[in-house]
Amino acid sequence: MSGRSGCGVRTSVTILLVALLVVGSVLGVVLALGYLGGADSLPPVDVLFPTNEYLDGVRSRVSPGDLRGDAVDALSDARYHGQCEWGDGLVDVFVYGPQDGGGVPIGLFSLEVDGELVVQDLGILNPSALGELEDCLPPEFLE
């Protein structure tokens, strides 16, 4: 009987260690984004949706470190593109998905580096941030 309880303890410890690793990773990403330019310099991306087919397509063509102009050209197939100032940088919003409403708002966040705008991060915009970006979103996202 004690052999089984030892197995349960090991399983519980393993689950606890995995949970701590996940929490540590998320905190590391949050701290890294803060280090890049402060919490106000990049709009929040939605960590609930780390990937989908549209975001995967964008990431296959654009990466952090790319020049913003090249990235905008690479994403010219989006059904909508708008841009807004955000803190010390710029956010470009690209909407992918069906024409009949909805869609996936993907944000491309750029900061000036050595006189050029450089992509710092990209991801699906958090729905809570859409109100702050109303000047660069299509009308259907503001209804």
Whether residues 80 and 113 share a domain: the answer is yes
Q: Is the pTM of this model over 0.75?
A: no
Report pLDDT for 14: 55
Whether residues 88 and 100 share a domain: the answer is yes
Whether residues 103 and 124 share a domain: the answer is yes
Whether residues 29 and 72 share a domain: the answer is no
d(CA 132, CA 33): 19
Report pLDDT for 27: 37
Number of domains in the chain: 2
Report pLDDT for 48: 44
Residue 64 neighbours by CB under 8 Å, 6+ apart: 119, 120, 121, 122
Tokens 């280090």: give the residue: 35
d(CA 3, CA 40): 53
Report pLDDT for 43: 53
Q: Please report, in tens digits, the pLDDT of each residue of the chain (143 residues total).
A: 455 555 565 665 555 444 444 444 443 443 333 434 444 445 555 444 556 888 899 999 999 999 999 999 999 999 989 998 888 889 999 989 877 767 888 889 999 999 999 999 998 887 777 777 778 888 776 66
Q: Are 29 and 85 in contact (CB under 8 A)?
A: no
Report pLDDT for 37: 42
Report pLDDT for 44: 54
Range of the domain at 18: 1-38
Whether residues 50 and 34 share a domain: the answer is no
